[in-house]
Structure 1
């Protein structure tokens, strides 16, 4: 009985991140050579801890504040509530250590911005993928 429980718990841990993001696609500009990122890299990008792509260009993260997608993303990827995320960035702005990501209200606005900015990264509903941006594969 005990080994079965251990295996079940391990399986849950392995699949938690991808299952939690079910329906959400992390996306970049089609010209961006990045096709995969680790969960930690995505977290560090949206928390302002990773600020440049491997080629040295500045990463431009964008969010969708005020949407269910934003709540799901902050919870499952950033391990924060929306409130904690907002406070995190207000503190960074106040102390001069960072500027919060630009925020949009819809998948279309996020896709449009990323399509126009080679160094941007954001997230949209997988059903909104229309070929104007590239989906990033997330790895553990």
Structure 2
């Protein structure tokens, strides 16, 4: 038995582990943001919170913008979560997953026709952008 103890070397993270840790943190942050956007969307689209107290057109426009923006941000953050998870597992994203998130996003806006149409156009534009940027 040697009398001198060997100094322990600290295990340093490799660049691959750093990228995986960053991806996991990105997934968690995106989940939190998507849940926040979903909550805002459900409150406004479910008419639990309404800012159109008077018949003023500006407040109705702001209400529609908040509804559409929260749905589009929910869609975008969920797509980021799924994409990062699929990148970590090494699998491509299916069209079924994209279609599922698309339908969930449209269901949120089904109570108001104006919000539904604007959301549908926005979701199609986001999908086209993501397809062309890959």
Normalized against structure 2, the TM-score is what? 0.24
More helix by percentage: 2
Q: Which has the higher strand share?
A: 1
